[in-house]
Amino acid sequence: MSQLLISGVKPTSRLTIGNYIGALMQWKRLQHEYRCRFFVADLHAITVPQDPDQLRALSIEVVASYIAIGLDPRLVSFFIQSEVPEHAELEWILCTIARLNEMERMTQFKDKSQKGGRDEAGMGLLSYPILMAADILLYDADVVPVGEDQVQHLELTRDLGRRFNERFGETFRLPKPLLQSTGARVMSLADPEKKMSKSDPSQYGTIFLTDSDDDIRKKIKRAVTDLDGTIHFDEETKPAVSNLLTIFHHMTGESIESLETRFAGQGYGAFKDQLAEAIITHLSSIRARLLELLADPAPIHTLLDQGRDEAQRAAREKIQLVKRRVGLGR
φ and ψ of 47, to 5 deg: -65, -20
- Annotated catalytic residue within 28, 194, 195, 323: 195
pLDDT per 10-residue tile (average), the chain, 330 residues: 91 93 92 97 93 97 97 97 98 95 77 60 83 97 88 93 98 92 77 84 89 97 92 92 95 95 92 97 97 97 98 98 96
Residue 198 falls in the annotated catalytic set? yes
Residue 112 falls in the annotated catalytic set? yes
Q: How far is CA 228 from CA 102, 187, 214, 257, in A?
A: 44, 20, 27, 19
- Annotated catalytic residue within 10, 112, 219, 318: 112
Handedness of CA 256, 262, 267, 270 (dihedral sign): negative
Q: Residue 279 and residue 214: Cα distance in Å, rounded?
A: 11
Residue 219 falls in the annotated catalytic set? no
DSSP-derived secondary structure for 91-139: HHHHHTTS-HHHHHT-HHHHHHHHHH-GGG--HHHHHHHHHHHHHHHTT
Q: Residue 233 and residue 225: Cα distance in Å, rounded?
A: 12
Sheet architecture: strand order including 4-9 = 76-80, 35-40, 4-9, 143-146, 176-179
Instruction: Tell me which CATH homologous superfamily contains domain 4-185+296-326.
Output: HUPs (3.40.50.620)
Burial 273-285 (b: 16+ CB within 10 A, else e): ebbbebbbebbee
Instruction: Tell me which CATH homologous superfamily contains domain 213-291.
Output: Tyrosyl-Transfer RNA Synthetase (1.10.240.10)
Instruction: Work out the number of other CB atoms within 10 angstroms of the CB of residue 88.
Output: 13
pLDDT of residue 147: 78
Residues in the chain: 330
Nearest by Cα to 225 from 247, 209, 203, 208: 247
**β-strands 35-40, 176-179 pairing:** unpaired
pLDDT of residue 195: 87
pLDDT of residue 205: 92
Straight-line distance from the first to the last Cα atom of the chain, in angstroms, rounded to the nearest whole number: 37
Residue ranges per domain, the chain? 4-185+296-326, 213-291
CA angle 92–143–315, rounded 5-degree value = 40
- Annotated catalytic residue within 194, 198, 218, 323: 198
CB 247 within 8 A of CB 275: yes
